[in-house]
Amino acid sequence: TQLLEQSPQFLSIQEGENLTVYCNSSSVFSSLQWYRQEPGEGPVLLVTVVTGGEVKKLKRLTFQFGDARKDSSLHITAAQPGDTGLYLCAYSGAGSYQLTFGKGTKLSVIP
Amino acid sequence: NAGVMQNPRHLVRRRGQEARLRCSPMKGHSHVYWYRQLPEEGLKFMVYLQKENIIDESGMPKERFSAEFPKEGPSILRIQQVVRGDSAAYFCASSSSRGETDTQYFGPGTRLTVL
């Protein structure tokens, strides 16, 4: 099993600030997924990145897949309290249905 | 709401009791996955089921845990003789087909507390 390391583990910022969280590994992935999990709820898929160097935007969220497909980042512009939650990256191995998750970054956006 | 449904949302058991967690997949989905989220840990895969079949239970503890997905009704994750270490959030996900490219949709989870 390939290990996904997410950083920072915790992040508390003021509303309106920008932030970046990271998902790193020493292994190469065919794809990576980003999820957001709100308190008391299950994870919700935000995006899947597939191609090295790929950048995907989802409103104020920008996802990037590293050129070598070993890492990914999530940048949030002008964070809002509604962005509060646990951000998880995950992968499924080739031909596999098992999702392997990182431990996540717990984001708190203070109004 | 046609999403994945889980019940109960919260379950409290004393050590030695049994816990039954239920999951109804999204309409039209026949593939169900169970994951466990321990405090300070990431989500861990437990088991993958299709109707009436266990496809992969490699993530399930060898003892006390079992899962089923009958022809009719929800998928059940059963934990016998619970211990405090079983306290966790248990999530069910479903997909319309198998495969790494098929999105798994997660339910809201059941939070099990063992006293």
Reported as a single tens digit per residue, the pLDDT across B21-39 is: 999 999 989 899 999 999 7
Min Cα distance A88 → chain B (Å) is 8
Within 8 A of B35 by CB-CB distance, chain A residues are 99
**How far is the C-alpha of B47 from the C-alpha of B92, rounded, in Å?**
10
> In CATH, what number is assigned to the domain containing residue A49?
2.60.40.10
Residue A20 lies in a domain: yes
Residue A82 lies in a domain: yes
Q: Closest by alpha carbon to B90, among B105, B107, B110, B76? A: B110
**Residue contact A97–B48, C-beta within 8 A:** yes
- The answer to whether residue A41 neighbours chain B at the CB level (below 8 Å) is yes
Give the residue numbers spanning the domain of A29: 5-103
**How far is the C-alpha of B46 from the C-alpha of B53, rounded, in Å?**
15
**How far is the C-alpha of B7 from the C-alpha of A99, rounded, in Å?**
22
- Mean of all residue pLDDT scores within chain A: 92
Say which of B40, B42, B107 has its CB closest to residue A42: B107
Cis peptide before B8 (omega within 30 of 0): yes
- The answer to whether residue A27 neighbours chain B at the CB level (below 8 Å) is no
**Residue contact B42–A104, C-beta within 8 A:** yes
Split into its structural domains, chain A has a count of 1
Residue A47 lies in a domain: yes
Sign of CA dihedral A96, A98, A102, A107: positive
Q: How far is CA B23 from CA A40, B34, B94, in A?
A: 16, 9, 9
User: B68 pairs with which residues across the strands?
Assistant: B76
User: Does B100 have pLDDT greater than 60?
Assistant: no
Residue A97 lies in a domain: yes
- Point out the least confidently predicted range of A94-98, B13-17, B43-47, B81-85: A94-98
Reported as a single tens digit per residue, the pLDDT across A23-53 is: 999 888 888 999 999 988 999 999 999 899 9
Confidence of residue A61 (pLDDT cuts 50, 70, 90): very high
Q: For residue A55, which amino acid is it? A: V
Residue A108 lies in a domain: no
Within 8 A of A87 by CB-CB distance, chain B residues are none
Residue A110 lies in a domain: no
Residue A111 lies in a domain: no
Mean pLDDT of B85-95: 96
